[in-house]
Amino acid sequence: MQRYLLELFGTFALVFCGPGAIIMNDASGGVITHVGIAITFGLIVMAMIYAIGEQSGAHINPAVTLAFWAAGRFPKNEVLPYIIAQISGAIFASAILYFLFPNHLTQGATIPLNSTSQAFILELILSFILMFVIIKVSTGSKEIGTMAGIAIGGVVGLEAMFAGPITGASMNPARSIAPALFSGHLADLWLYILAPILGMLLATLFCNLTKSKAS
């Protein structure tokens, strides 16, 4: 139960700070800027890895949990409770943001700038890269250690920096589900659920194929 609560809180923090930065940037007339939003995403992920990684693993992402399970690093019976905790934390964060900024049109939702096919491919590749790094720097199913926080938080910030204006750079179904529910932008939600899961599962397969014999 402690691990589930930590996953709930970690995902809450991610959604409250990440989409929250988008909302507050619009509310303040662009003071935070796109670069600031990307940095916010990277820093909150890094902070949560350091804060809860030792106990829960700091997945804070249903696609990460599924990928760790597919890689044989996470027990099957823990997958559903983790995902429920993560989505619950994200919804709780979006509920507070909606209460604070009820007039914001998107609530920080991830919405494709152009076509859904373009967004799907980008999100798949972004998620693949992120999970590849997670697997390489994590210990078992836990994102822990000095380099894990810097590397994973850095990749999240980097991908949000260059892909955020096109897709929102979600790489996380929970991060996309919660704002979509409160803003009503549900039409393209499927791609933000499917692409991260598929991309991260492919990353686990790639890591298995390229794993050294000594590891």
Domain of 112? 2-209
Which residue stretches of the chain are H helix? 2-27, 33-56, 62-70, 76-100, 116-137, 146-167, 173-183, 189-209
**Spatial contact of 129 and 159, defined as CB atoms under 8 Å apart:** yes
Q: What is the mean pLDDT of the chain?
A: 94
User: Considering the domain boundaries, does residue 29 fall inside one?
Assistant: yes
What pLDDT is stored for residue 147 in this prediction?
84
Is residue 211 over pLDDT 90?
no
What pLDDT is stored for residue 78 in this prediction?
95
Q: Residue 85 corresponds to which tokens in the numbers above? A: 């905790």
**Spatial contact of 37 and 25, defined as CB atoms under 8 Å apart:** yes
**Overall average pLDDT of the 125-136 stretch:** 96
Measured distance CA(177)–CA(86) in Å, rounded: 11
Is residue 212 over pLDDT 80?
no
User: Considering the domain boundaries, does residue 157 fall inside one?
Assistant: yes
User: Considering the domain boundaries, does residue 147 fall inside one?
Assistant: yes
Q: Would the CA dihedral through 20, 22, 26, 28 be positive or negative?
A: positive
Measured distance CA(190)–CA(211) in Å, rounded: 32
Domain CATH code at residue 75: 1.20.1080.10
Quote the number of domains for the chain. 1
Percent of the chain with pLDDT over 90: 88
DSSP H or E segment with residue 37: helix 33-56
User: Considering the domain boundaries, does residue 106 fall inside one?
Assistant: yes
pLDDT bracket for residue 202 (50, 70, 90): very high
Tens-digit pLDDT profile for residues 155-182: 999 999 999 999 999 999 999 999 999 9
User: Considering the domain boundaries, does residue 54 fall inside one?
Assistant: yes
User: Considering the domain boundaries, does residue 214 fall inside one?
Assistant: no
pLDDT bracket for residue 76 (50, 70, 90): very high
Tens-digit pLDDT profile for residues 18-58: 999 999 999 999 999 999 999 999 999 999 999 999 999 99
Question: What is the residue type of 91?
Answer: I
What pLDDT is stored for residue 82 in this prediction?
97
**pTM assigned to the model:** 0.94
Phi, psi of 188 (to 5 degrees): -105, 10
User: Considering the domain boundaries, does residue 215 fall inside one?
Assistant: no
